[in-house]
Structure formats: C-alpha cells, structure tokens
C-alpha cells in the first residue's frame, strides 16, 4: 500500500502514514510563476493499492488532485482510493434555477473517473454520494472530536438540529450531555439561541459543527451561552474554511479548533485514525 498526500493534505497524509505504519510516498510538487502546478511521483507504484489524499479547497487544489490521479494511473497500479477530506461544492447538489450547473455532480463525476473508490469526511450533504457510480463513502469525525474533548467538556452542542447527529455521536462516546441550539427570532435585529432541553449553567461546553466559515453563528451562540451561565465555550468544526476576519468575531470562545481535513493553525484534531480504520 502506498500513500500520496497532495499539497493541501500533507499533514493528514503524514498522520495516516504514521497510524498505518507506512512511509509516505516520495513526491515532488511545485507551482510555476503563473500558478500552474507540477507533480511527480518518485517511487514505483506498480501493483500497489494507492491512497491519494487531497482536499478540494480552494479551487486550485481540485486541478492538483486531477494531476496526481493522472500521474498515479500512469503506473500499472492495483487500485486507487481517492480521499477528499473536504469535498467542495457539496452545497450545490441540485439546480435551484434553470441553467445552473449541479456543481456537486460535476465534481463527483470527475473525481471518480480515475478512482476505484472515493472517501469523504463529514460531507456537507450525504445525498451527493448518490452521484458516484463507483464505491463512495463518508466518514464521521465524531470520534475524533470525542478524543480531543475527553476531560475538557461537560456537554457537546450542535449549532442546529441539522448537525445534531455528529455532535450526539461525540457526546455518546464521551458519556456527556448533548443538545442542539434552537434559534428564535425576537425581532428584526435580535436572534436568541438556546439549547432545546439542556441548561448550560456551570458547564464547560463545546459547539461542534461541520464547517466554520464566517463564524457569525458560532460567535452569537458563544456569547449567549456564556450569558446563560456556561463557564467555558469551545468551538470545533470538521472543516475550517476560515474567512480572514473570523477569529476577530470569535473572541468570546475559549478555544477554536478544527480537524486536519482543511489544514490551518487551528487543525489540532486529526481524522487519520478514522481513515485508518477503513484499511485496518
């Protein structure tokens, strides 16, 4: 088995290689002055099962992914498993207006072209997996959150009902409280966010979401949870798509962390063990 990490996922590829006890495959990557990418594989992949890890954010990483797939398939490999830790464009899973591209379908069809299997992590909409004609699966980061927050929190919260499953799985593993936040509009300018059933007074809580981008929802939730008596509020996400000013908004958070699906300084949680379990 060989593991290749694209430039956007070197951290995660290295963690996976360590967990599986395999050396990361030697590769070369660079960008030319005009922004075009150069990739080269420096080892023989003949007869190997190859794992390629490359997140698809921002867009330039999609092109790089296709170049790695092309280079890998020049060898007579056994199979290629493409792992897109963050699968971009999953929000556009259907045409909302006539003439729109179904972006999730377009990406799925092209990623699977030179893959035998595709794996994603906490994809924004699992219905996107239906666009794949080859084996495709989505892994949850819930157990990774549980490992990280062990001994640090008394409750795990989801910012909404839609993400409740992820947060509840983490809380079940930890054996701590769980709830999701309900939004109530008080007036045109005021929104109240309160846990549906749980009192957070005196508790250390973590808000767990799939994506943090602008941070507006997390900032509001953190402020109001502290007003409701929470002693600590941590924010965590699988995919840290952090806008430039996001951390300025999250000053009330005691900690902001993300997994290594999208690599940043906040990537303190690895999903390498979740991926390794697939190949164990």
For residue range 146-172, list pLDDT tens digits in order: 999 999 999 999 999 888 999 999 999
Listed residue (166, 161, 154, 172) closest to 230, CA to CA: 154
- For the annotated catalytic residues, the residue numbers are 183
pLDDT beyond 90 at 187: no
| CATH 3.40.50.2020 matches 142-260 | yes
What confidence score (pLDDT) does residue 182 get? 87
Same topology, domains 2-140+273-279 and 142-260? Answer is yes
* Residue 185: pLDDT band with limits 50, 70, 90: low
* Average pLDDT across the chain, whole number: 95
pLDDT beyond 60 at 19: yes
Percent over 90 (pLDDT), the chain: 90
Place of tokens 């992820």: 166
- What is the CATH number that goes with domain 2-140+273-279? 3.40.50.2020
Contact between 170 and 146 (Cβ < 8 Å): yes
Q: What ranges do the domains of the chain cover?
A: 2-140+273-279, 142-260
Mean pLDDT of 189-200: 81
Tell me the per-residue pLDDT of 72-125, one tens digit each, with 9 for 90 and over: 999 999 999 999 999 999 988 888 899 999 999 999 999 999 999 999 999 999
* Residue 178: pLDDT band with limits 50, 70, 90: very high
pLDDT beyond 70 at 248: yes
pLDDT beyond 80 at 188: no
Token pair in block for residue 117: 């299997």
Mean pLDDT of 131-135: 97
Alpha-carbon gap, residue 132 to 104, rounded angstroms: 10
Opening angle at CA 172, ends 167 and 175, nearest 5: 120
């Amino acid at each position: 088995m060989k593991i290749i990490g694209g430039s956007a996922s070197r951290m995660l590829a290295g963690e996976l290689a360590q967990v599986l006890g395999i050396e990361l495959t030697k590769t070369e990557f660079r960008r030319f002055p005009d922004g075009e990418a150069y990739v080269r594989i420096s080892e023989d992949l003949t007869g190997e099962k190859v794992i390629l890890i490359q997140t698809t954010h921002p867009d330039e990483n999609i092109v790089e992914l296709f170049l790695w797939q092309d280079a890998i398939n020049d060898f007579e490999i056994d199979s290629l498993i493409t792992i897109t830790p963050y699968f971009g464009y999953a929000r556009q899973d259907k045409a909302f207006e006539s003439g729109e591209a179904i972006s999730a379908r377009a990406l799925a069809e092209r990623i699977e072209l030179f893959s035998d299997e595709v794996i994603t992590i906490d994809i924004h909409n699992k219905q996107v997996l239906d666009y794949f004609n080859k084996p495709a699966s989505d892994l949850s980061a819930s157990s990774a959150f549980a490992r990280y927050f062990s001994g640090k929190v008394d409750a795990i919260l989801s910012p909404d009902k839609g993400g409740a499953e992820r947060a509840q799985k983490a809380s079940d593993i930890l054996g701590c409280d769980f709830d999701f936040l309900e939004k109530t509009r008080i007036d045109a300018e005021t929104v109240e966010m309160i846990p549906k059933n749980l009192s957070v007074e005196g508790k250390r809580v973590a808000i767990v979401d799939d994506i943090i981008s602008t941070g507006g929802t997390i900032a509001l939730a953190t402020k109001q949870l502290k007003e409701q008596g929470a002693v600590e509020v941590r924010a965590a996400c699988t995919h840290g798509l952090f806008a430039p000013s996001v951390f300025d908004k999250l000053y009330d958070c005691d900690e902001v962390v993300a997994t290594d699906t999208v690599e940043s300084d906040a990537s303190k949680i690895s999903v390498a063990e979740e991926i390794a379990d697939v190949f164990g």
